[in-house]
Structure 1
Amino acid sequence: MKLLKPAWISHDGKPIFSIDIHPDRSRVATGGQGEDSGGKIVIWNMAPVRDEKSEKDESVPKMLCQMDNHLACVNCVRWSNNGRYLASGSDDKLVMIWQTSRYAGPSTVFGSTGTVTNVEQWRCVFTLRGHSGDVLDLAWSPHDVWLATCSIDNTIVVWNAQKFPEQVAVLNGHRSLVKGVTWDPVGTYLASQSDDKTIRVWRTSDWQQEKAITEPFEECGGTTHVLRLGWSPDGFYVVSAHAMNNSGPTAQIIERDGWKTNMDFVGHRKAVTVVRFNPNLFSKKISEGADKPQQYSCCAIGSRDRSISIWLTALKRPLVVTHDLFNSSILDITWDKTGFECMCCSWDGTVAYLEFSPEEIGTPLTPDEKMQVLEKVYGKTFASAPNGNCVANQIIETAAMLELRQKQTEERDKQKTPGSAATPATPVANGGTPAGTPVKVLNNKQIETKTADGRRRITPIFLAAAADIAGDDPIPFGQKEPTFTSSETPSTIVVEKRNEVTGPVRKSPYSDNSRSQSVVDASGAKVPTTPGAASNKPHTPSAVISPITPIKPMSLQEARIEALKKPGSATSHEKHKDKERKEKDKPNKISVKRKLDAGGSQKRPRKEKEIHRASATATVLHTPTAPAVGATETRVIYSTSGLQLPVPKVEKSASVQIGGSVGSDDQLVLVLENEVVGGPSNLHRVKCLKGGQQQWESVLASKGVVIAGNSNVCCCACEDSSLHIYSPAGRKLCPSMMLHSQLSILHVIGYYVMAVTSQGGLYVWNVQSMTAVIKNESVISIIPGNNVQIESSMLTAQGIPVISLSTGKAYTFKPDMGAWVQLASSGDPLASCSDHHSCIPKEGGHKMTGPLSALQLKKQRASQQAGQLFRTGHVAQQASTMTHLENQVAAALALKSSQEYKFWLLTYMRYLVQEGVEAKIREVCDELLGPVYKSKTASSWESHTLGLGKRHLLQEILPIVGSNLRFQRLFTEYKEQLDTAKL
């Protein structure tokens, strides 16, 4: 045994509260008190500790990195099992996760006046906020699936180490300060020790308390800063910190089998502060006459009596005890991965190093032998799930569950077949870069061109910087400092010379909104590159076409160019006149748009005097919107105290395309002509054209205001508040319907007609059955104030009206419930906190087009950035996500969108299964299953919803439920009932 106290490992005389050796054995981290009452974390080189020559060699750095981010004392530091992360807990209530930086160049520690140099660069990549008090201890679970932290706020927080900063659970049960946590080596339990004189064992399957042990701690007092208990590597024993036996301090041994407390480690004169098990299992012949070597574990115990004792579970007495090793209490102990090196730290600000030989503590088992021991005792455990919601030691209980798991495995294997076109990327926790994946950088190519005057021009190529955080594990630190030399390899850059002649880029002097560039090609001809010229897409007809008053091309632009050539620059007043002239030359889209059933996103200008009306004889042509979503019209409508919605201004003529494609023989156009000369008084007419040929015509007694239609129904609203409905052949389907005020909005989709009057009355008719779906329902219920505007409206193919307000909220009216229901809200905080905030429904790899998707697409854009920036705790985020998904399911149901309803229902069930919410899973399954057997009493259960069979939906949901082994009994229960019932 070797014993050493390296004096150079120090926090300038201040206490060191924690110490931990890196899994690669090249570093050791210490945490404790820093300057100005702050916290300090220092990473040290282990080579000078082990080797005296390295200690004396000035070229070997002793300190590798110092981090002072914590605002208060650091109580605990722990490396993750894979060595990628370092976790630290502090009195500032924070837990920080550190990772080595990719740019690992030396730097000077801030505030050290150049005397302290960081050889490595470590930076905080995650800050975990969940405790309301000092964080005293933390521990990584096996396989680094979870991170457990405990605090003086009486709680233990379990974090998802694969998705920081997500919280998996908050364990409440202790009634006083929690001072230590430790994990079962097979991931089944988590144990914690508190000043409330208890050790509590928690199940990882449901995060509920398994056992509370109180008897050995009834005489204990809160005299220790920490209570760091330990779990043996074979999982048989939990050894506590401070316990009492006959008024003497002990370390209590708690057996896993029945949580019995019949044994303890005795000998220390004061309270035990820390117990740390060697990570290895050892094998050795304990007695001389033994036939076989005995397997055992080794643990180190530190106490307030300033001594450390090393125990082997095969011996009744300690292997070694070192007294008066420090001047104050021992606070933490750590073992290296080999099991032969041990380090401990003390309140007096010093550390000690102990090295053992195989002859002293035995021969460690290999990792494979250790795994065989664990599998023999606990069985083969399933690999931990990457989402942190795995269940340890679950056994498949039924053949149906086994068959389901095998199918899921086969499907995953098919997706991972070699040579597939799309090979999935290697998943890496917390967004790291997969090991061995080089960053593609185009640094071996150079493009050269020539300017018009013959000079050479090298085209710059953007080289994206590599991420600052290294995705791989930190490289074991060597003994020597890194050296840097110039490369002697000749350059391999390929120079690509092009014969192009580039010219200067000029900005258009006459356009404020659009930009054009001029490029000189090899022949010297100027080629304008405008957004329209660059696009190969067919030109979409303008919403407003005025053939009678053509605009002379480029006249305004040429005039502006000539004005710029004159001496002196144009004044701001002249520029303003040019802008007004440009606005006046545009046809009036806004006034005509109000007569159309569907439109773009143009809004009415605030000042009517700035609008130049189009010619009275202009013909208006409008392209229809997608029939799957419905006719959508974006407009600005101001609501007043009397709820008087604006009425479209009566124009001379207007037309709207209601079917076919533009310019084809089957194009249907509905035309409205007012004040047609004929007879003793002016008449008005509406007619339908097909391919430019008139199909039918109808005469009106009052001026037409709004027209809308499709291949099934045509409608015209007049100035006298009447509404006329025509068949495809022009036959009036019913007498003129008189409404209580003029129409403000008119939509037609399929056989459904939607109308909103100027006084806010909403109507929806089914023309095919000649019935009213919605009768004069006032929109005043959804307009909260005078400043709220109706921004847009639409009618779905199922006859569902949707009205969107300027507040970002969208509503529909449910006749069966007699109330307005909210469908979407751009400022909804629940949606912003939801994990599925930006989820877009897809079907067969393609985006799903439905009314809910179309409605929420622009609503999400307004709050998407806020949703990405806003973060909350896991509990609040879980509740927000479930509420958001429930709202989506209900909204799709209200819109009668079957495919969207199915998508959001399956998404909702996946989330419930992932989060383990059994009560809601059962409720949904019961609703879909319905009664299994017939009964004498009539059942109100319906077998279909929106044309989808409920039991067929349940058949798709059950594999999702079976993907989590926690719910295998629930899966079996409903599968058996579903097999019994007839689908």
Structure 2
Amino acid sequence: MKLLKPSWVTHDGKPIFSIDIHPDGSRFATGGQGEDSGKVAVWNMAPVRSEVDEKNSNIPKLLCQMDNHLACVNCVRWSSDGRYLASGGDDKLIMIWQTGRYFAGPSTVFGTGGKTVNIEQWRCVNTLRAHTGDILDLAWSPQDAWLATCSIDNTIIVWNATKFPEIISTLKGHTGLVKGVTWDPVGKYLATQSDDKSLRVWRTVDWQQEAMVTKPFDECGGTTHVLRLAWSPDGQYIVSAHAMNNSGPTAQIIERQGFKTSMDFVGHRKAVTVVRFNPNIFQKVVNKASGKSQQFSCCAIGSRDRSLSIWLTALKRPLVVVHDMFKNSVMDISWGKSGFELLVCSWDGTAAYVEFTPDELGTPLTQDEMNSLHQRIYGKSMAISTQHSVNNTIIENPAMLKLQQRHNEHREQMDAKKQVNGTPTKIRNPMLTSPTEKPNPKAQQIETRTPDGRRRITPLCIAPQVDFGDIPRPFMSSSLPMSSTGVAQPGLETAGTPRAAEPSQGSPSSQHATVKPLAPSVLTSAPTAIPANIQPMKALDSRFTEKSKATSGTKTSQSKPDRITPITLSTAKPREPDRPILQDSSAPAPTIIAKRKLDSLSQPGTKRMRKDKPVLMAPAAPTQVTPTIPQDVITRSAPHPIMLPSPPAEKNISLQVGGGEESMVLELENNIQTAGVKLAGLKCRRGGTVEWETVLSTRGTLLAGSRKVLCVSCEDRSLCVLSPSGRRLLPGLVLSHPTAILHCNGYHVMAVTTVGNLSVWNVQIAKVVIKNESLLPIMSGDVVIKTSSVTEQGVPVFSLSNGKVFTFSVSLGTWSTLSDVHSSLQQCSDHQTIMSSLNPSSQVKGPLASLQGQGQRSGRQAGRLFRANHNLQQAVTLGHLENQVSAALMLRSSAEHKFWLLTLVRYLVQEGLEAQLREICDDLLGPVTAQGRLPKGSLWEPEVLGVCKRLVLSEVLQEVGSNLRLQRLYTEYQDQLDMVQTPAK
């Protein structure tokens, strides 16, 4: 056995949280903390094995350094074929790295002053976003069909490694931080360990929980940064991290058969952080008396006591224990594929290399012998491709099978469109895809011929081509290996295979640790029925609390309640009818300039209003009215009155209605003197030509119009409604107060008076839609109206300075909130993961999108507030999506209502929330009768916003059918829909 610590393997003194050896043994990766970000580094293995290569300046030590992660990297793992490197960190991201095929030469790392050189080129080919908390561990499944990641958001996500970023399933059940994940070597189970004092085993057939082990962890506390458990290569045992036995730290052994917990590895003085099995099964003559060869596994265990122990399942005691290996806790362990090399990393920022000989460990079984062993035990071997088991749920319905086929065809069509548009298509099965030629951008160039026959080539901007290589070859395996300066150096030996040369004792860059045998300890009893030779040992009591990385907290802000100013009301002289009732007779009418100043003083954080736009706001608190009759004084709290500015009757007012060739310009001219009478003239121009003109008896103050109706607000508080040809459609509409806001859309006219009374009319049928509804419930304090409008369906919309958007519901008779930029639901919703998978062309535009498009903050803080509570994150996302559906319904926006309903359904399907899906399907399906007719007295409406509900249900079921776990729900409602559905007209 050889042990050394290469001093050059470092993250500049920062912790190294993970380490992994490449399957070909030529390189290894480390992940940890960088200067101001997470760091992933790929190192050359040759200088670690050989002192000669270490001293050779032409052999680089660091091959590549990647600083793409925004926060500390907690785990790095190579895929089993060595093509990909996966890394996960505190930034809630998983990055999939692949080497570039065409490499121009070494390059320096930005920010290192030229001191760090990248010899290899690794690019991030996929970034996986779905976790809402730090990612602590990840693992590739056998044959690289899946990638499992676990996080402090209490969930495990299984990704389809052949079609990133597709999610196969999200496993929920843990109630604490999930800190470790490992795969069954035959791909039947997935095991995870969490701070909730449990180890759970999940089936890969339906991704449901198979077993939960809690007893060995009852006395455990969350004192370790990670809990990296491991599955033995024969699949018979799981060895957990941090367990307790009689108040002593152990590594619990869990049998596959029945998941029993009768044995454990003992001897470490502090909590076990990581367990890693050697990928090989060894055979050796253990008992020389019998002379029979015995098969066994090898396991390495690291602990917070800074020690490493190596165990063979054929021995009752550890093969070797290395004490005081580091200055801090052991964080990760990695075995080389040969089975005789081991790398260990620590929180203290250093790494150690251990090399064994066949005499110490034994002779590893060949791959064929391993496959035969699995075939004999499980009926299948690891050599059998697991590609078919990506979607291994049995399809029970032919309709479901056709739906799955349509989904696959749709994906292929989308990929073909992306390829035509120049977007690179994602590789469906990277394990089976052969190398392709480098793309030729010149094939898309455009050539034309001039009249004299000469060729003319249109210049084409060629973006840098990102081309990714195949499985990286062992470093320095070419005939002329590259030096650190990028110059080919002849005469160097290849370093693709391990060497047996022992490092020199005098090497300045190597540190040696002492190897001491473990002290004898008393063996604990084990049942005789256990078919294993692992003998547990008595544990020593020692407990230690490790300082874990702090997560960012959140600050809560409290908003001041609306102030209610007590005023004194008294009997006063009757006011003149022309004077506004809510305005104090002793207070001067506030001007627009005064209101702007007041607004800027009351809201220092808001943006400054443009000077060419009038500011609509409520005045300050009213002054007290001096009582005239003291005995009749009544003191009470009154709501804040509204005073909106009335626009002056300017001499000339113009308005453009519509756009393009059909646009028209309205011109209003006040103070026209005719025979001693003052009139107002209104003209309509199209293309500079006056089409018609009319006169008004009083001066006009506001103009509004649409392609269906035109409207003028006059000084005598009346509205004049005209057709686009200048014909008066209605008699003058007289309001109680002057008009402050006027809008037209379609056949609807909306007017708001200076005291905040809202009215909406449908001119086409000459009917009032909303009559004198006050804005007082939505305007309080110093809130002002930023924008206002009316939809084509006659729905009023008001956007206020406090970030809220309101509408008045005629059916409910109350004001409703459409949007709130400060809403926690809107800021912390995690629905963007659903939106990112949609085709950009499917994004709809409507009144809701236009309202929320400016300053849209939806999802910006997703996971920040609820990073450790997935259930709360789920509730917030559902709340936001349900609000979006309701808001679209209030605005009577049919396209947006359908879009957000399907988005809600996609999220419910992803989360597997069957109860909510049933409610939606029941509402869309309605009552089911044999004749297909609605029963008498039924209140169910067959349409929503003019769209047939059952047609929407058919689209909903298409989304439900994308999740095979919901295929029975799909079948149930599809059968009922087929029974009652009639052909759509």
Which TM-score bucket, shorter chain as reference? 0.5 to 0.7
Deviations 1:522-552 (A, max 9, x none): xxxxxxxxxxxxxxxxxxxxxxxxxxxxxxx
Cα distance change on mapping 1:943 and 1:964 into 2, 3 Å: same
Offset at 1:718? 1.9
Offset at 1:764? 0.7
Cα distance change on mapping 1:751 and 1:84 into 2, 3 Å: same
User: Where does residue 352 of structure 1 map in the other structure?
Assistant: 354
Matched, 1:363 2:366: yes
User: Where does residue 4 of structure 1 map in the other structure?
Assistant: 2
Offset at 1:777? 1.0
Q: How does 1:479-878 map to 2 (within 5 A)?
A: 482=483, 484=485, 635-641=614-620, 642-654=641-653, 656=655, 672-678=668-674, 681-684=677-680, 686=682, 700-710=696-706, 712-726=708-722, 732-786=728-782, 788-826=783-821, 828=823, 830-834=825-829, 845=841, 848-860=844-856, 873=867, 875=870
Matched, 1:231 2:231: yes
Matched position secondary structure for 1:741: coil
AA aligned opposite 1:27: R
User: Where does residue 299 of structure 2 map in the other structure?
Assistant: 300
The range that moved more, 302-311 or 67-76, is: 67-76
Q: Distance in 2 between matches of 1:924 and 1:56?
A: 69
Q: Distance in 2 between matches of 1:198 and 1:883?
A: 31
Identical-pair percentage? 44
Q: Distance in 1 between matches of 2:222 and 2:690?
A: 96
AA aligned opposite 1:5: L
Conservation of the 8 A alpha-carbon contact between 1:254 and 1:261: yes
Q: Distance in 1 between matches of 2:724 and 2:879?
A: 45
User: Where does residue 258 of structure 1 map in the other structure?
Assistant: 258
Cα distance change on mapping 1:605 and 1:380 into 2, 3 Å: farther
User: Where does residue 322 of structure 1 map in the other structure?
Assistant: 319
Offset at 1:825? 4.1
Matched position secondary structure for 1:780: coil
Q: How does 1:176-187 map to 2 (within 5 A)?
A: 181-185=181-185
Q: Distance in 1 between matches of 2:746 and 2:8?
A: 81
Cα distance change on mapping 1:905 and 1:730 into 2, 3 Å: same
Match for 1:905 among 886, 901, 915?
901
AA aligned opposite 1:334: S
Offset at 1:277? 3.1
Offset at 1:810? 2.8
Q: Distance in 2 between matches of 1:916 and 1:350?
A: 45
Cα distance change on mapping 1:856 and 1:369 into 2, 3 Å: farther
Matched position secondary structure for 2:941: coil
Q: How does 1:339-488 map to 2 (within 5 A)?
A: 339=339, 341-342=341-342, 351-356=353-358, 360-365=363-368, 376=380, 393-416=392-415, 421-422=420-421, 424-427=423-426, 476-478=474-476, 482=483, 484=485
Q: Distance in 2 between matches of 1:646 and 1:370?
A: 87
Matched position secondary structure for 1:812: strand
Conservation of the 8 A alpha-carbon contact between 1:343 and 1:354: no
User: Where does residue 212 of structure 1 map in the other structure?
Assistant: 212
TM-score of the superposition, structure 2-length normalised?
0.63
Deviations 1:798-835 (A, max 9, x none): 11122233444332211111222233345555444445
Matched position secondary structure for 1:956: helix
Unaligned runs of 5+ in 1: 288-293, 312-316, 385-389, 443-460, 488-603, 610-632
Conservation of the 8 A alpha-carbon contact between 1:391 and 1:965: no
AA aligned opposite 2:914: E
Deviations 1:265-292 (A, max 9, x none): 88989999565334367999999xxxxx
Q: How does 1:873-892 map to 2 (within 5 A)?
A: 873=867, 875=870, 879-892=875-888
Cα distance change on mapping 1:655 and 1:359 into 2, 3 Å: closer
Work out which structure has the larger RCO, using CA pairs closer than 8 Å and 6 or more positions apart in sequence.
2
User: Where does residue 452 of structure 1 map in the other structure?
Assistant: none
User: Where does residue 531 of structure 1 map in the other structure?
Assistant: none
Number of corresponding residues: 787
User: Where does residue 964 of structure 1 map in the other structure?
Assistant: 963
Cα distance change on mapping 1:938 and 1:673 into 2, 3 Å: same
Deviations 1:134-192 (A, max 9, x none): x99765555385554588x9x67669796799996676357xx9875423346664434
Offset at 1:336? 2.2
Matched position secondary structure for 1:702: coil
Conservation of the 8 A alpha-carbon contact between 1:834 and 1:884: yes
Deviations 1:325-364 (A, max 9, x none): 6677996653323556555689998542124499922211
Conservation of the 8 A alpha-carbon contact between 2:194 and 2:227: yes
Offset at 1:239? 3.8
Q: Distance in 1 between matches of 2:224 and 2:728?
A: 92
Cα distance change on mapping 1:681 and 1:375 into 2, 3 Å: farther
Offset at 1:783? 2.2
Offset at 1:951? 0.7
Match for 2:925 among 921, 925, 929?
929
Q: Distance in 1 between matches of 2:110 and 2:421?
A: 46
Q: Distance in 2 between matches of 1:62 and 1:843?
A: 45
Conservation of the 8 A alpha-carbon contact between 2:335 and 2:343: yes
AA aligned opposite 2:618: S
Q: Distance in 2 between matches of 1:301 and 1:605?
A: 77
Q: Distance in 2 between matches of 1:952 and 1:68?
A: 50
Q: Distance in 1 between matches of 2:595 and 2:323?
A: 87
Matched position secondary structure for 2:781: coil
Conservation of the 8 A alpha-carbon contact between 1:227 and 1:241: yes
Offset at 1:945? 0.6
AA aligned opposite 2:898: K
Q: Distance in 2 between matches of 1:14 and 1:720?
A: 77
Q: Distance in 1 between matches of 2:793 and 2:72?
A: 64
Q: Distance in 2 between matches of 1:846 and 1:94?
A: 28
Q: Distance in 2 between matches of 1:696 and 1:40?
A: 73
Deviations 1:699-726 (A, max 9, x none): 5433233344456444333211122334
Cα distance change on mapping 1:470 and 1:167 into 2, 3 Å: farther
TM-score of the superposition, structure 1-length normalised?
0.63
Unaligned runs of 5+ in 2: 288-292, 429-433, 443-459, 489-590, 597-611, 621-640
AA aligned opposite 2:938: S
Conservation of the 8 A alpha-carbon contact between 1:254 and 1:260: yes
Q: Distance in 1 between matches of 2:248 and 2:712?
A: 97
Q: Distance in 2 between matches of 1:832 and 1:163?
A: 24
User: Where does residue 201 of structure 1 map in the other structure?
Assistant: 201
Cα distance change on mapping 1:164 and 1:733 into 2, 3 Å: closer
Cα distance change on mapping 1:959 and 1:698 into 2, 3 Å: same
Q: Distance in 1 between matches of 2:789 and 2:110?
A: 63
Q: Distance in 2 between matches of 1:929 and 1:148?
A: 38
Offset at 1:955? 0.3
AA aligned opposite 1:322: L
Matched position secondary structure for 2:279: strand
Q: Distance in 2 between matches of 1:7 and 1:657?
A: 78
